[in-house]
Chain A
Amino acid sequence: LAKTTQPISMDSYEGQEVNITCSHNNIATNDYITWYQQFPSQGPRFIIQGYKTKVTNEVASLFIPADRKSSTLSLPRVSLSDTAVYYCLVGPDSGYSTLTFGKGTMLLVSP
């Protein structure tokens, strides 16, 4: 599985747009990029997944450049409730459900 690198922590204020970048230099051709969100003492929650270009859902957008060596999770107009750890995962979506989590990015949103 491709190794990922993301910032350990980020700070933001309510109403701002937050962009969390994940580096995955050795991503393979059949790898997808997936982001999870985890609140304290809860299980992670699937946010978004993409393969290339841009994916958007009601929660976030995922931007993936042409070389796919990095990706950016964009959270529009964050609120206090977006304070959480965000994990970037990269791997083949083969039907084998093994997720490898890194350290994630701790996002702290302040008033």
Chain B
Amino acid sequence: RKEVEQDPGPFNVPEGATVAFNCTYSNSASQSFFWYRQDCRKEPKLLMSVYSSGNEDGRFTAQLNRASQYISLLIRDSKLSDSATYLCVAFTGGGNKLTFGTGTQLKVEL
């Protein structure tokens, strides 16, 4: 089982839709999680940090479920500019080891 797993998608949604991605992690000791956004041929950019049960920032909401070992990202009122790959990231080991999920591709269409 991979340490961090995501549905690769693509998720094709119309503009204005609400879309949710899930990410599961295998290490129950993981404490911190992050969602990054990556545009084609660009570097990943931090979208949200998830340290406790969840976090909300405008149209974006992240939830953490420790019992089931998954985190989710909800995007409301999708914009064309939200089209990107969303990477789920977890601290999975000692030191400063961050592990990335495979990423979920989102395409928002007119």
Query: Are chains A and B native binding partners rather than an unrelated pairing?
Result: no
Binding site for B on A (CB under 8 A): none
